[in-house]
Amino acid sequence: MHDAAQWDKKDIVELLISKKANVNIKGSDGRAPLHLAIANGNIDIADILKTNGAIL
């Protein structure tokens, strides 16, 4: 989820969400996918994550 959010891979994010992946899982650096999407300007990904329950 983190890599897909960081690198703007919308299809992968949607697939992972459809398989019930945790949108709030934190990486070893303490950041969630939403943090990475926003930091990299991937607004569409951020919107998808927020719609599916992601929090900051």
Query: In the predicted model, is pLDDT for residue 56 greater than 90?
Result: no
10-31 residue pLDDT tens: 999 999 999 999 999 999 999 9
C-alpha angle 7/13/16, rounded to 5°? 135
The pLDDT > 90 percentage for the chain reads 98
In the numeric block, which tokens belong to residue 3? 């890599």
Mean pLDDT for the stretch of residues 4-15: 99
SS3 for the chain, per residue? CHHHHHCCCHHHHHHHHHCCCCCCCCCCCCCCHHHHHHHCCCHHHHHHHHHCCCCC
pTM: 0.94
What type of residue is 7?
A: W
Average pLDDT along the chain:
98
